[in-house]
Amino acid sequence: MVDMDRFAAQIAALDAVVTISNTAAHLSGALGVPTIFLIDDNFQTAWPVTGDRTPWYPKGIVIHKEGRTWPVVLDEVGRRLSSILTAPSTLSGKN
């Protein structure tokens, strides 16, 4: 990444983001873009250990792997993402 402003503009234009814990995760959360954060079982971080919300990013959903296989986790992601995209008023300020 060379241009953070351009990267931020690209993320801000999205309806939602699905990501691991990285720059895109924190930027999308800070910009208020509905974001699904995927957290592996072995990931040591400041992400909440229980529950699916984070106090830092109100429009974010934290999904922990919790010993499940990735295909099972991604099924949950698909359901959550579909919910976000079909009912944007629930998490997104976009209409």
**Which segment, 39-43, 63-67, 76-80, is predicted with the most confidence on average?**
76-80
What pLDDT is recorded for position 45? 72
CA angle 12, 30, 38 (to 5 degrees): 90
Question: Would the pLDDT of 44 be above 60?
Answer: yes
What pLDDT is recorded for position 89? 58
Question: Would the pLDDT of 62 be above 50?
Answer: yes
8-38 residue pLDDT tens: 999 999 999 999 999 999 999 999 999 999 9
By three-state DSSP, how is residue 2 classified? coil
Q: What residue spans define the domains of the chain?
A: 4-86
The token duo for 11 is 């993320």
Give the integer Cα–Cα distance in Å for 60 and 69: 22
